[in-house]
Amino acid sequence: MTTDNNNTSPAPTFTSTPIGLLTGKVVLITGASRGIGAAAARLFAAEGAAVVLAARSTKALDDLVTEIRAEGGRADAVPLDLADRTSVHAAVDRVEELHGRLDGAFNNGATIQQPGPLDTTSDDDIDEQFAVNFRSHWTAMNAEAALMRRGGGGAIVNTSSIGSRRANPALPAYGAMKRALNSITETAAVTWGPEGIRVNGITPGGTATEMIDAWEAATPGIVERITTSIPLGRMAEPREVAEVATWLLSDRASMVTGAIVPVDGGAGA
């Protein structure tokens, strides 16, 4: 993302040295073709995971798989339409075909609604938000948990949004579905905890992704407004969000489940 906003502080160079947090784990990533999902794909592979990348944009996935393999990582791609329950199940089935198990899942795929107030949000917006930003996670979590159960457990991380934690007048349907996602994340954690399956969520704030670019195009000035609301004074880089998901999927977070973790630079404090 680029912006000419003079009040936006440039993001610092962010680097971390891989330490093998996910060594030996098989991890599925939805929405892996761009933004936070693509950053997670690179990071999880660098941390030792065999990653299976799922999204609609198969060309972008293939390029990412090639990149990861060139760096010595293990990666495969599978097409995924989050609005299609059959496609979601097929993606999880493909993980089993490739690896015979699933240790972690990062359910990151989402779609933005047409920005606008509640009374102009269309039925089509509601239907799309429900299908992609809620039902797809419901379907994926159940399929993922079924496969994890056969392997003795695992960890799931769902990408929610800062917009789920408070009123969201500009994106009412998006915020509502993300809040519902928080609820089923917490419920799944309590339900599946005895089976060794941890389930957590993350709520990114303003993050320099294509989704923010689309929002800025529809609502000029939104980047500046979001940035000024962040105590750290800048948008997050996608990798910074992926770092939190990495830790939650790792054994270092073995006693963390049912958490909805803010990754928003303090904007929600």
Choosing from 174, 175, 185, 257, the catalytic residue is 174
Q: C-alpha 41: how far from its chain's center?
A: 11
Q: What is the DSSP letter of 236?
A: B
**What is the C-alpha to C-alpha distance for residues 84 and 128, in angstroms, rounded to an integer?**
11
Relative to beta strand 50-55, strand 74-79 is: parallel
Distances (CA, A) of 260 to 16, 24, 87, 254: 24, 26, 27, 15
**What is the C-alpha to C-alpha distance for residues 201 and 222, in angstroms, rounded to an integer?**
25
Structure tokens at 259: 């958490």
**Do 171 and 115 form a contact (C-beta atoms < 8 A)?**
yes
Q: C-alpha 243: how far from its chain's center?
A: 11
CB burial of 223-261 (b: ≥16 within 10 Å; e: otherwise) equals bbebbeebeeeebbbbbbbbbbbbbbbbeebeeebebbb
Structure tokens at 88: 């979601």
**What is the C-alpha to C-alpha distance for residues 97 and 168, in angstroms, rounded to an integer?**
41
Is 174 an active-site residue?
A: yes
Which residues participate in catalysis according to the annotation? 174
